[in-house]
Amino acid sequence: MRCLRRRMAVLAVLYMCGTGLLLMRVSLISLFPNRVIGGAGGSGVLRDVRTRADLEHFKIQSIQDGRGHILYRDGRIFPPRRSQLVGWVGLPDVWPAKTRMVREQGREGLEDTFDSWLQGRPGFIGTLADVTGRQASSVRYHVPMSRGADVRTTVDASWEARAERALEAAHVKNGAVVILSARSHEVLALSGVRSGHASYLPAVTPRTPGSIFKLVTAAAALESYEVRSDQPFLCDGHSSIHGVGMRCWRVHGRLSFAEAIAQSCDVTFANVGLMVGGHAIANVASAIGCTGPGLQRIDGHLVLKAARAGEVFAGNSKGPWTPGELANTAIGQQDVSLSPLGAANLAAVVADGGRYEDAQLIMDAQKDGRAIRWFPSVSRQAIRRDAATELANAMREAVTSPLGTAHALDDAPTEIAVKTGTAELGGTTNVNAWIIGFAPYRNPTIAFAVYVGDAPSKLAHHQVFAMTRAVLRGLK
């Protein structure tokens, strides 16, 4: 019995010595060079990064993550509901220990791309714990957090809200609205909806574009001087190309090339595709950015990992191409894909006199409201300015002409120039419906793309026209 008492006494002394050493260690660290500031209720503040090495000695009561924010262009914080673009944050997949302080990680969207910038040094409030995890002292310690950088986007809160309202009011299940600055090519709105639980972002996911791709074919024809805007064509309702059983959506009769753009004549563009050739179409598509994701890169990495590149002649990228492949690609119906962002880029090229620039989504990184890094952009002349002007005039005619495919928008509050598109989807009666364009026509401030995917034709067209009106409402 006496021996047992001695052992218990020794263990008690060792326990007290261990606890005392831990208290002394914390006190020394906090004094040299750290300082423990006494507070009400026996609280203290530990100020030094070296305290991170001693976190296992604390029983954590609360944690301040210190993570930076994703911001609108005016500095306001994106609301949590913007999960598609901003993404979300969560705890690590593998938790190191229940008692350890762990930073959250970015998941999807901008939170994922800029995770290392957004992460700060977490802070915590806790009490000293012994080796068993039990509280060893009543003193509360506070390690202040060091906040990570904020990432400021080009997104305009009012334009983004307008795009979201347009999608909601039209009851779109799969679709997107993208709005760019016509001059700076900055993203003002990048909004989309998707049915189910698909992991893609509709605004940056390529889909069959249909007739909006005729702008690329037209640009290739004008660039190569194969076709003039006043050149006459004849549409009798079906293609005369050998081996191509294409029927136009209506009989257009005799019309100029500019009128063929405005009226979206399939027969004319099937013939133009053969006149111009696949290499010319592919080269112009590449110059305009249709074969890339069309989005800003920083340090060689896309600012949105979900962004995907568009395709032209996807099944046969190098040729030779059959007449059927050329005809169907020329009207945007075969082996062609384009995202709503890529479509908005296409409209921006026409609006900006033929100049292409990857859409800019990130303006800068900030600390305490001051920019610590800017992200310059690079542009190129994709097509001749006069060719862009001719395309713009034809897009305006699509609205002003009674035969134009967008004549229903002639009562818009400002002059606009647009191209409509309908893509048939194999094995179904559903379509992809598009409207892309810019406004105002004479001095563009925005370029836009409105998209509804995989919906019945009548519904899809009603929705894209309704959304276009909603986007343009209030624009002067």
Return the CATH number at 330. Answer: 3.40.710.10
Same domain, 124 and 216: no
Do residues 407 and 441 both lie within one domain? yes
pLDDT of the residue at 30: 55
Q: Please check whether residues 232 and 305 belong to one and the same domain.
A: yes
* Residues 62 and 77 placed together within one structural domain of the fold: yes
- The number of domains in the chain is 2
Supply the pTM of this predicted model: 0.82
Which tens digit of pLDDT belongs to each residue from 114-165?
Answer: 988 888 776 666 776 665 667 666 667 666 767 889 999 999 999 999 999 9
Within 8 A by CB and 6+ apart from 447, the residues are: 179, 180, 181, 182, 344, 345, 347, 348, 350, 351, 352, 436, 437, 438
Rounded to whole angstroms, what are the CA distances from 236 to 252, 253, 266, 420? 7, 6, 11, 21
Q: Are 88 and 111 in contact (CB under 8 A)?
A: yes
Cβ contact 263:252 at 8 Å: yes
Residue 329 within any structural domain of the chain: yes
**Residue 178 is part of which domain span?**
154-472
Could you tell me the CATH number of the domain that includes residue 62?
3.90.1310
**Same structural domain, 139 and 271:** no
Average pLDDT value for the chain: 85
* Cis status of the peptide bond prior to 80, with omega within 30 of 0: no
Q: Give the pairing of strands 135-143 and 150-153.
A: unpaired
Q: In sequence order, what are the beta bridge partners of 435?
A: 420, 450
91 and 218: one domain? Answer: no
Q: Between vectors from CA 199 to CA 193 and to CA 205, what angle results, nearest 5°? A: 65
Tokens 């604390």 belong to: 58
Q: Is the pLDDT of residue 293 over 60?
A: yes
The tens digit of pLDDT for each residue in 180-239 reads: 999 999 999 999 998 765 567 899 999 999 999 999 999 999 999 989 999 999 999 888
The pLDDT of residue 34 is 38
Q: Per mean pLDDT, which range of 10-14, 51-55, 157-161, 173-177 is the poorest? A: 51-55
Query: Cβ atoms within 10 A of the Cβ of 377, count?
Result: 13
What is the mean pLDDT of the segment spanning 306-331? 89
Q: Do 174 and 194 sit in the same domain of this protein?
A: yes
**Nearest to 154, CA basis, from 178, 176, 177, 180:** 180
Sign of CA dihedral 311, 314, 318, 322: negative
Note the pLDDT tens digit of each residue in 359-399: 999 999 988 888 888 887 888 999 999 999 999 999 999 99
Kindly report, residue by residue over 402-447, the tens digit of the pLDDT: 999 999 999 998 999 999 999 998 878 899 999 999 999 999 999 9
Residues 147 and 208 in one domain: no
N-term to C-term CA, the chain:
96
C-alpha distances out from residue 289 to 130, 340, 383, Å: 61, 12, 11
User: Which of 152, 187, 219 corresponds to the end of one domain?
Assistant: 152
The answer to which of 12-16, 171-175, 177-181, 358-362 has the lowest mean pLDDT is 12-16
Structure tokens at 364: 């800068």
- Range of lowest pLDDT (103-107, 343-347, 441-445): 103-107
Q: What is the pLDDT of residue 374?
A: 80
What is the pLDDT, as a whole number, of residue 8? 76
pLDDT of residue 124: 65
Largest CA distance in the chain: 117
pLDDT 10s digits, 240-252: 776 777 889 899 9
pLDDT in tens, 26-82: 665 555 533 333 333 344 444 443 444 455 566 665 566 678 889 999 999 988 665
Helix boundaries (H) for 170-256? 214-223
